[in-house]
Amino acid sequence: MASIHLLYGTEDQLMEERKLSILSQYRDMGIVNLTDDTNPSRIMEQLSEDSLFGDRKLFCLINPGIVKKTGKHNEAWQGLRSFLLTYQGENPILIIYHDAIDKRLKENKELLATIPNEEFKRLEGGQLVHWMRKYCQENGYQFTLQAQDYISQLLEIWVDVPVAFMRTELDRFFLLLGDRKDIDKPFLEANISDFGSKNIFTFKDALLQRDVHTLLNLFPFIFSYKEVDRAMSYIEGQLRLQLMVSECRAAGMTLTQTQDLFKQEGSKTKAYPIKLAYEAAPRIPRKALRRLLIGMYHVVAASRMGQGDISTFRDFVLSYCEQGKE
């Protein structure tokens, strides 16, 4: 009896990599691709006929309608579904389904319990950074610590980033780098595709440095950003981190003690951002930063309730910049 395997999910790049890995195990066979445009009865006929009379082949079924969806019922595909659940043929079958599968539905539970399968979800945060580091290493490149932290911050703002996009970005970086093998933060700042996130980072840095000129130039962008709530949430998180680290340093704690405290309290903040905040602490007025954070909380809360204008955050920022050091 031949094997049958199902790959499904929303992360197409990882699914494609796994597909190629499986296909490499059947190099001596011809490959027959059958899409959802093919009549399901014809698919069954071809699988049955080739199993009995032809040379062995690998059949790759692309998005067949065998997955149950809420509120939808496609009788035309039920015969193929039953055929695959009891498949005893000699030809291996690889099913590729480019979507999530609702595991709450009885039919899908049966499908996944019967056919060996692998799910491919979008990578997020640390998972995507890990994939990027691995891909770079496989091609002879590596991120510096500062560059890795910069990527991690980007991914806090970017939503639903496909691995395929990051692979294209990295391939472009390799061409630009030439003989250089280290990918550093200045290189990323100059070359990574801009979804608006770079301006948000610049705004955050200018805010901590109280660079009024840069802030005034960026205010129109921040308030017109399509995901302004997400941007404000990121900025608030960075300011809160700075305040907590500044308080630790003001209390006489060393950098190591501060990093250990974050770890003991279950914080997911990495050591390097804490180090940067610790080094910046002497330049940042804590009382003014507290007032800025409180003002930011009120502005964002009122805006979400439709009771205020988020642009009033500008007033709190300019007031913060006018404050002298403690």
Range of weakest confidence among 27-36, 68-77, 89-98, 313-322: 68-77
Instruction: Write the pLDDT tens digit of every residue in 79-110.
Output: 889 989 988 888 899 999 999 999 988 999 99
Q: Cβ of 256: how many Cβ atoms within 10 Å?
A: 11
Average pLDDT of every residue of the chain: 84
Q: In whole angstroms, what is the distance from residue 107 CA to residue 176 CA?
A: 50
pLDDT of res. 1 = 44
CA distances (Å), origin 266, targets 30, 158, 176, 243, 270: 53, 24, 39, 18, 11
Q: Give 4-120's CATH code, choosing from 3.40.640.10, 3.90.50.10, 3.80.10.10, 3.40.50.300.
A: 3.40.50.300
Asked if pLDDT for residue 326 goes beyond 50, the answer is: no
> Which residues in 295-322 are b (16+ Cβ under 10 Å) and which e?
bbeebbeebeeeeeebeebbebbeebbe
User: Could you tell me the residue ranges of all domains in the chain?
Assistant: 4-120, 126-191, 197-322
| CATH code of domain 197-322 | 1.20.272.10
Query: Any bridge partners for residue 9, and if so which?
Result: 120
Q: In whole angstroms, what is the distance from residue 180 CA to residue 172 CA?
A: 13
- Looking at the structure, give the CATH architecture of the domain made up of residues 126-191: Orthogonal Bundle (1.10)
Which pTM value belongs to this model? Answer: 0.60
